[in-house]
């Protein structure tokens, strides 16, 4: 049974035409709602596929950049045109396309969820949905010639109340979407800050040891070189004996578990002339190593590059 103007349609003596019009309106609005819901599902599905492809591409780029960050990789990039071209493509993906995908994927998910929410709302509240479709000029309102003035006013009051509910729900959805987008932006900002922090701290330890070596031709403890182990919001920086330094992440960093270690080892090698050797390593977990693809380069950073 449908309702029209506060009266049950089945109770109307001539209710056949009213029932037909009422059910026709509901069916039409719910057909639009189903189509809108389907579009939202498509957007979310497409975003999920894009997210999978983005993660796959990011892992491939990280592996490629790690390959070209060592000695053999740099040698190949300098001497072979194919490797130079491949490295150029990897940097292009890492610097342009992947950051765009990082923003686009959550944006598509949010838009898809909003569209799905609108479709579900219109399905549950077809009268409000019909008002929205009429306002968008997707449907045309045909007045009921048998409706009294009281029935028209009552229906308009009900439509106004439903419209206010819809606007309130839409505002809440927009607020939630903006919150999610800010969270994604903050995650990206934290990652950049963490990468800079760990690189700068490792470089500072290396520079202090280098300075001490240049003056004394040996390595020194943290007290001798003037290095004081510290802690930040993200890492514990530790000096474990002469020539050994490491950073440990306090909490989970994206997909990297807490407690993983980035290490620097410095030692003297040589039979007659002792030369300073520097060894830098990232965690064996690829989910952690990919977050700092350039960490191996901290041992070659010049002072002017770190400023």
Domain boundaries, the chain: 3-147, 194-306
pLDDT tens-digit readout, 274-304: 788 888 888 888 888 888 888 877 766 444 3
Task: Output the pLDDT for position 246.
Answer: 92
Query: What residues contact residue 69 under an 8 Å CB cut-off, 6+ apart?
Result: 293, 294, 296, 297
Task: Output the pLDDT for position 268.
Answer: 87
Positions of the chain with pLDDT under 50: 1-23, 149-150, 152-154, 185-189, 301-307
Can you read off the two tokens belonging to residue 1? 């049974």
pLDDT tens-digit readout, 31-77: 888 888 899 899 989 988 988 888 888 878 877 877 776 677 778 88
Task: Output the pLDDT for position 248.
Answer: 92
Residue 260 CB neighbours (<10 A): 19
Task: Output the pLDDT for position 6.
Answer: 37
Q: What is the 3-state secondary structure (H, E, C) of the chain?
A: CCEECCEEHHHCCCHHHHHHHHHHHHHHHHHHHHHHHHHHHHHHHHHHHHHHHHHHHHHHHHHHHHHCCCHHHHHHHHHCHHHHHHHHHHHHHHHHHHHHHHHHHHHHHHHHHHHHHHHHHHHHCHHHHHHHHHHCCCCCCCCCCCCCHHHHHHHHHHHHHHHHHHHHHHHHHHHHHHHHHHHHHHHHHHHHHHHHHHHHHHHHHHHHHHHHHHHHCCCCCHHHHCCCCCECCCEEEEECCCCEEEEEECCCECCECCCCEEEEEEEEECCCCCEEEEEEECCCCHHHHCCCCCHHHHHHCCHHHHC
Task: Output the pLDDT for position 144.
Answer: 57
């Amino acid at each position: 049974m449908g309702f029209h103007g506060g009266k049950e349609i089945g109770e109307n003596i001539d209710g056949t035409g009213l029932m037909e019009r009422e059910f026709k309106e509901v069916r039409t609005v719910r057909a639009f709602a189903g189509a809108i819901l389907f579009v939202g599902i498509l957007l979310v599905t497409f975003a999920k596929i894009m997210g999978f492809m983005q993660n796959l591409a990011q892992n491939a780029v990280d592996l490629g950049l790690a390959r070209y960050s060592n000695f053999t990789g740099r040698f190949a990039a300098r001497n072979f045109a194919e490797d130079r071209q491949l490295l150029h493509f990897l940097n292009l993906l890492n610097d342009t396309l992947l950051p765009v995908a990082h923003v686009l994927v959550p944006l598509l998910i949010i838009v898809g969820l909003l569209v799905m929410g609108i479709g579900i709302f219109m399905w549950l509240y077809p009268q409000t949905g019909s008002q929205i479709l009429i306002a968008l000029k997707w449907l045309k309102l045909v007045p009921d010639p048998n409706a009294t003035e009281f029935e028209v006013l009552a229906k308009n009051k009900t439509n106004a109340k439903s419209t206010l509910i819809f606007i309130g729900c839409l505002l809440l959805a927009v607020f939630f979407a903006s919150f999610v987008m800010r969270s994604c932006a903050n995650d990206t900002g934290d990652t950049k800050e963490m990468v800079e922090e760990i690189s700068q701290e490792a470089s500072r330890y290396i520079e202090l040891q280098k300075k001490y070596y240049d003056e004394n031709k040996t390595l020194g403890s943290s007290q001798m070189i003037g290095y004081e182990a510290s802690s930040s919001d993200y890492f514990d920086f530790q000096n474990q004996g002469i020539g050994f330094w490491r950073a440990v992440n306090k909490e989970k960093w994206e997909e990297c578990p807490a407690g993983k270690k980035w290490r620097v080892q410095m030692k003297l090698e040589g039979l007659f002339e002792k030369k300073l050797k520097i060894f830098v390593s990232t965690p064996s977990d690829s989910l952690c190593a990919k977050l700092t693809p350039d960490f191996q380069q901290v041992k070659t950073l010049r002072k002017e590059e770190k400023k």
